[in-house]
């Protein structure tokens, strides 16, 4: 099993190329390239997005690291048009194409939340239309979309609500899409926040649906995105569940809040320690 690092925390500080060099030097096998939280004037998804992607792919090849997956910008809003006349939809389309150039097998695309005041609109109904509008681009560029378990904060009730927040909901939505171009991504931290133990979420997935992971730790109270063993999740249970379902994707760390606290000069050491933790988790899955 390969070990991957989501690049966001490093690309914001060091730029894409240096971030890739740091991740490769630490011993990771792959990167998860982030297209979210890009500045409006960023070249990554601007008019020169394709040339940017090709140049970055050449750099990844040169430093000896692959791109296993990517993360689309979560900019498309409820009520938006699902076509390229909408600049936010166009950003998502460009991310899909650019990720395919980087070599990603799949790209995580967030579902669209339904405002509470929109009575009678079902989450699965609305997102069925959204995701199917993206399927032609998957076919065109040869890249799958991963649907992630998400959450929202209920400020009134001071709790978290799930969006495709149970294995039954996520599997049911993928069955509804009924296409090889859509797979599941589990963020283990998101599962914990909405009341489903990550190991139970994994165990509840139908065989063959889970192809992508976001691995992070938390304290069940916030979306902490720290390194495993720094929070309260049950890593013995999580790795056992991944083994039991014969998970065959990569182990992808999404630990940007952990790395965000590390001074620049200590980042290489922090990444090497993260690799050691990742290899330990993989050994537990593969033993």
Q: Hey, what domains does the chain have and what are their CATH numbers?
A: 3-286 (3.20.20.150)
Beta strands in the chain (DSSP E): 3-6, 30-34, 66-71, 106-109, 144-148, 150-154, 159-163, 182-187, 210-214, 251-253
| Percent residues over pLDDT 90 in the chain | 92
Q: Minimal CA–CA distance to 194: which of 158, 225, 166? A: 166
Give the pLDDT score at 40.
Answer: 64
Query: What pTM did the predictor assign?
Result: 0.96
What are the E-state strand segments in 188-260? 210-214, 251-253
Of the listed ranges 77-86, 112-121, 183-192, the one predicted with least confidence: 112-121
Mean pLDDT of 245-264: 96
């Amino acid at each position: 099993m390969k070990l991957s690092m989501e690049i966001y925390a490093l690309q914001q500080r060091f730029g894409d190329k240096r971030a890739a060099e740091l991740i490769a030097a630490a011993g990771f096998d792959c990167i998860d390239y982030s297209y979210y939280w890009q500045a409006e004037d960023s070249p990554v998804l601007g008019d020169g997005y394709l040339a940017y992607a090709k140049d970055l792919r050449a750099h990844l090849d040169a430093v000896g690291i692959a791109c296993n997956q990517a993360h689309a910008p979560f900019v498309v809003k409820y009520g938006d048009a699902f076509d390229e006349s909408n600049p936010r939809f166009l950003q998502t389309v460009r991310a899909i194409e650019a990720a395919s150039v980087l070599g990603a097998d799949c790209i995580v695309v967030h579902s669209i939340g339904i405002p509470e005041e929109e009575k009678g609109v079902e989450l699965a109904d609305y997102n069925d239309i959204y995701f199917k509008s993206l399927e032609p681009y998957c076919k065109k560029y040869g890249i799958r979309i991963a649907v992630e378990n998400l959450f929202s904060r209920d400020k009134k009730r001071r709790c978290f609500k799930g969006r495709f927040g149970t294995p039954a909901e996520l599997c049911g939505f993928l069955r509804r899409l009924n296409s090889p171009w859509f797979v599941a991504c589990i963020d283990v931290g998101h599962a914990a926040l909405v009341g489903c133990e990550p190991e139970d979420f994994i165990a509840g997935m139908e065989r063959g649906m889970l192809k992508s992971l976001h691995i992070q730790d938390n304290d069940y109270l916030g979306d902490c995105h720290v390194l495993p063993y720094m929070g309260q999740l049950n890593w013995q249970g999580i790795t056992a569940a991944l083994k039991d379902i014969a998970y065959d994707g990569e182990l992808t760390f999404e630990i940007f809040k952990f790395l965000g606290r590390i001074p620049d000069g200590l980042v290489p050491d922090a990444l090497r320690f993260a690799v050691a933790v990742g290899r330990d988790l993989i050994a537990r899955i593969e033993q």
